[in-house]
Amino acid sequence: MRRLKLQSPGVCSLVAIFFLSTLPGFAQTATLLRGSNLRKAPNTSSAILENLHKGDSVTLTSVRKRSGYYHVSAGDGSVGWLLAKNVSTSGTSTGSGTSAGKVGIACPAAVTGADATITDCPETGCGPSLDPNLNKQKNIATDNDAAVDKDVSFLAALPDPVPGFNIGDTREKLTALGEGQMIRVVAFALVARKGSQESCNCKLAKPADTDNHIVLVDPTVTKATLAKNESTSQTAEFTPRVRSRHPKLVGADLQALIAATPNQALLVRVTGVQMFDSEHSLGPFYLKRENNWEIHPVFGLEYCPAAKTCTQGSDANWVDMEK
């Protein structure tokens, strides 16, 4: 794919386990307290991969829980999700003992000035501890590939964590799962939030230099709300580097459109790059959503006006935010 880019002892033990769980290669042994189903996804409606038994040992890939489930590897190598209350995590944990996956990159002098903008920030971002490969993926600025139509369930079904992938790795394992392809997804947008200061944006704070996080839920959901549905949402993001070429992709403008709908849910068709947010996947900071596969960055967004019918495969009635 061709792209152009812009330039106490008990407390201490718990803290140690949490710290190790954020490092590449972390694994913790756990034992089943009772029989349990190993599932493809962290919910009771997901497919059962196999039945495990009381006393079986599994390996946690992270101490992070999702919807009350642990992501584990069973003794036979099967990988899936187990209900956390059915396992004891009193076993031993191991890790690489180093966070070598992250590096420090000094910020250019221009970034520290009062007049700094995103154009002063390198594509790796900058800061004392970051993943340059992830930041470069986030900071794609142009992409002329044709989009492939997907749906929210496509992103939700992708593995997270990705087996064998660690922070700082080159991203071939993610490319094999579709990272980097241009996709187009129809969903309800429930909110467009201003992003925080991030290393990918050199910790710049002005709205023009930060991302916007858009909460997307499956369009088949009835009366979708943040309170009910954010935990099963996916994320799309407007980024400042794309915004330099698409100046109307502004989070505040999208939020105004969302707020004007009767149920605070705007039907949108989003075009952008499939990306795995590996840092949020592997911790320590987790977001309230289904998983960490995103549409990031977004290169186009259309919305469906009130009282109109809009579908994935037809351009009829969609309104382009940039028109």
3-state secondary structure of 61: strand
Average pLDDT over residues 38-49: 90
The conformation of residue 162, written as its DSSP 8-state character, comes to P
> Coil, strand or helix: which one is 37?
strand
Convert the pLDDT of each residue in 6-25 to its tens digit.
Answer: 344 343 433 343 343 444 44
C-alpha span between 101 and 40 (Å, rounded): 28
* pLDDT attached to residue 61: 80
Whole-number Å distance between alpha carbons of 50 and 52: 6
CATH architecture for segment(s) 103-320: Beta Barrel (2.40)
Lowest mean pLDDT among 64-68, 71-75, 140-144, 231-235: 64-68
β-sheet bridge partners, residue 272: 183, 298
The mean-pLDDT minimum among 31-35, 41-45, 135-139, 180-184 falls in 31-35
Lowest mean pLDDT among 59-63, 106-110, 254-258: 59-63
Q: Residues 6 or more apart from 65 whose CB is under 8 A from it? A: 84
> What residue spans define the domains of the chain?
27-94, 103-320
Quote the CA–CA distance of 36 and 42 in Å, as a whole number: 13
How large a percentage of the chain has pLDDT more than 70? 88
In tens, the pLDDT along 148-161 reads 999 999 999 999 99
Q: What percent of the chain has pLDDT over 90?
A: 65
Between 45 and 22, whose confidence is greater? Answer: 45
Instruction: Write down the CATH number for the domain with range 27-94.
Output: 2.30.30.40
Mean residue pLDDT of the chain comes to 87
Domains 27-94 and 103-320 fall in the same CATH topology: no
Cα separation, 286 vs 292, whole angstroms: 9
Position 251 scores a pLDDT of: 97
pLDDT value of residue 87: 84
